[in-house]
Structure 1
Amino acid sequence: MIMPLVYPDILDLKTAGERFSYTERDAMLYALAIGFGADRMDERDLHFIYESQLKAVPTLATVVAWDAGLPTAQLGVDYPLVLHGEEVTSPHRVVRADC
């Protein structure tokens, strides 16, 4: 039986902030996994896949913090029925690898 979601109740649910970390290696592997470096002649990708002046792809934050937030069971959501209709990633600080 599918239960309806009560939107105001979901908005009232809160969690404490959590810290997540990743390494330079994690940042480079993620960039490679999503296609950076596929064109070996495209030098713009180097900052995402090579240690020199490394930058993290902003969406890395969604992977690093995969388990953040409330469990879907607590929200009353049947996870196999979830459709990602809209998601937004809003970094509040520069995303960087801890050295």
Structure 2
Amino acid sequence: MTLQQLRSLADAGSVDELELLSLEGGIYLLRVRTATGLQTLAGEGGRPMHLRSSTHLRSLLAGFPAMRCVLVQHVVHDEMCGQREGQIEPLRLPLSLEQTW
């Protein structure tokens, strides 16, 4: 999904949620949840757009309609230690796109 496609969906109110996925190495990916599923925001050449921070996301989406956003981060320590049984769900924290703090 391109930024222009995201803008069209946001203007139409078709975005259910944005997920800012935190990956190792300080890389973030933006996933857009709609009624048809999850899509990753792509940059030039159709490759996933790498974001640097939540501040980078806020500046990228400045002027967009308000949308629900969450920061998604896997708990690496649980995976490394192997203490818990069953599926380990990622940490999902609400993220404001309007306020920096």
TM range (shorter): under 0.3
- Higher RCO (C-alpha 8 Å, min separation 6): 1
Q: If each structure's helix is expressed as a fraction of its own residues, which one has the higher value?
A: 1
| Bigger Cα Rg | 1
By percentage of residues, which structure has more strand?
A: 2
